[in-house]
A and B are shown apart, each in its own frame.
Chain A
Amino acid sequence: MKRIFLIFSVSALLFSSCKKDDPAKEYDPNVMAELSVEFDNIAGSSDLQLNTGNYSNSFGQQFKVTKLKYYVSNFKLTNVDGSVYTVPQKDCYFLIDESDAASHAPVLNIPEGEYKSISFTLGVDSLRNTMDVSQRTGSLDVSGVAADMYWSWNSGYIFFKMDGTSPAITGMGGVFQYHVGGFGGYSTPTVNNLKTITLDLTSRGTPKVKSSKETNLHLMVDILKVVNGTTNMDFSTTPMVHSPTAGVPIGNNYTTMISHDHTEN
């Protein structure tokens, strides 16, 4: 009996909140709510299929992708009123791994509100790359998921990894490995492949974030743009990329791979 009453009162509350007309009153900036940001990996116009999907680059070279992983971090959201919310840094490092569906849509805790743009770092910022090992937990734990995303010989996180095969590559089992990192160096300035991605959310639907509901920002990540762009990657001449400098062209290419597709409000 008690439970029925509870359900009744909760749903009554929900309905009454729906009826409110003044949008400004809909959001309480003091209340935190969840926004999931979904990274949907695609190849051109088709969904990315690891190991089986056949794709081709601008040279017409066929290729398959066997591994796709990248870090996204340091999220910032701009409210339609112009205010900017920065998600606390320590909660804000996510490794998107195509082979692990649970990793595809990290959830951010942000104040209720309607947001017009989102920005984040593709990679792990230089500050975190120089922090004490005790500050490298969760997705940054080098004995955890980061074991595969860390250069131990040149201390630093790998920001982006795409491995695969292509018949255009002779020898080495036709394998290509594109690993991009490089945060600018500790004491000697070195190559910096950190990229800030900023996406306008107004044309494809602004997220209306409230604690009473789920909101999902659906982003498309097109891996064809990793190999086709300012520099068209030729698998036959460049099958291996394992250092910051060699990663520069790929890093420049993948700044354009992410777009906002739609919002599930």
Chain B
Amino acid sequence: MNRKYWIFIFFFLTGIIACEKDFVDGFIGFSKPANFPEPVYRLTDNEITKERFELGRNLFYETLLSADNSISCGSCHIQTAAFTHHGHTVSHGIFDRLGTRNSPPIMNLAWNTSFMWDGGIVDLDLQAVAPITNHLEMDETMPNVLDKLRNSGKYPQLFRQAYGSDEITTTRFLKALSQFMVMCVSSNSKYDSVMRNEGNVTFTADEAEGRLIVKQKCGNCHPEPLFTDNSFRNNGLSISSVNDEGRFKVTQINTDRYTFKVPSLRNMAYTAPFMHDGRLLTLDAVLDHYQSQVQQTENLDPLLLQNSSPGISLSPSERVKIIAFLHTLNDRSFLFDKRFSQP
């Protein structure tokens, strides 16, 4: 009994000391928002430290990652646009080569079960290899990137500070990038404050009703609190001339043709345009789509086939309330958080 007591005191004190240290450093590490579930990312395989996070932050904004040293991850994932390529339907890489998909936000990735619109990547640690080596994006090779970093004046020292030696390996490089991306948690919207009972923040009548409508009419695919169920669905967009077959490209299963990952509804005020190819420029256009423009294409999600015509029935007042609620999901502090800005 006595021993247990002392053990408790010991851990309590070390806890306090650890907290103090964090406070002194001004670096808190990863902390799960109280209204979020447990993260999916394996934090135990990549212990977050201030030095590794800072290394990742430098790498995220490093143009050496591209073939002609012109663009960084931050070029298409701009913080003030919640880490999307604001204003671009599809993103362009080096030499202004155009891709076919809209760059998704770097936000709450610790809860993502897969990455890319087609879910072709399931481990965040392996994600960065794709844009670095994609011909239309950075068009580099991984060996070249690591060599450029080794020969830079800056990085051997940053790797030493982060990992104890100058050695620049694939694992160190990718895990440092993951640390930066995992730390990009957006959880300070009005919605979050209401959910966590912070201060006296409450929903307006429209917002509260909008929340119920979203739960009822959108919540199957966009459930709280992350507003995505991480599934792949065909939401009835017309097939464009690109004929992007979505997840089918990855699984080559016929029922996956034209399905794409369900994106989160958070920070929509900053992440336009919408959909996998950025074809819808405004929130109103998105609602128009679900209300009246859903196409009956191969593998259309059954949830969009519950009424007499494909789509979701929405009255004008419901639309007003939905939009009022969606605006409570905007987290402006995320856009200006100095931890995530270009160093």
Contacts and interface: CB of A to CB of B under 8 A. Distances in A.
Interface in A95-140: 130, 132-134, 136-137
A133 B174 contact: yes
Interface string B296-329: 0000000000000000000000000000000000
Interface string A146-168: 01001011110000000000000
Interface in A235-265: 243-245
11 contacts: A130-B122, A132-B123, A132-B125, A137-B171, A141-B170, A150-B129, A152-B130, A153-B121, A153-B134, A155-B120, A243-B249
Given A143-B142, A155-B123, A185-B251, A133 B171 contact: yes
B146 interface: yes
A144 interface: yes
Interface residues of A, number: 25
A147 B141 contact: yes
B252 A190 contact: yes
The 4 closest A-B pairs by CB, nearest first: A143-B142, A152-B130, A152-B129, A143-B170
A147 B125 contact: no
Interface of B: 42, 45, 113-114, 116, 120-123, 125-126, 129-130, 132-134, 141-143, 145-146, 169-171, 173-175, 249-253, 256
A185 B118 CA distance: 13
Nearest to B145: A143
Given A143-B142, A152-B121, 20 more contacts: A132-B123, A133-B126, A134-B45, A141-B169, A143-B146, A143-B170, A147-B133, A147-B141, A152-B129, A152-B133, A153-B116, A153-B121, A153-B134, A154-B121, A154-B250, A185-B251, A186-B114, A186-B122, A187-B122, A245-B252
B133 A133 contact: no
A153 B125 contact: no
Contact of A142 (B114, B129, B251, B253): B129
Contact of A136 (B114, B141, B146, B170): B170
Contacts of B120: 153-155
A88 B297 CA distance: 50
A249 to B, nearest CB: 14
Nearest to B232: A188
User: Which one of B116, B123, B146, B251 has the greatest number of beta carbons of chain A within 10 Å?
Assistant: B251
A68 interface: no
Contacts of B141: 147
Contacts of A32: none
Contact of B252 (A130, A141, A150, A244): A244
Nearest to A135: B171
A191 interface: yes
Contacts of B121: 152-155
Contacts of A137: 171
A144 B145 CA distance: 11
Contacts of A133: 123, 125-126, 170-171, 174-175
A142 B171 CA distance: 10
B171 A190 contact: no
A245 B256 CA distance: 14
A145 to B, nearest CB: 9
User: Which one of A144, A185, A188 has the greatest number of beta carbons of chain B within 10 Å?
Assistant: A188
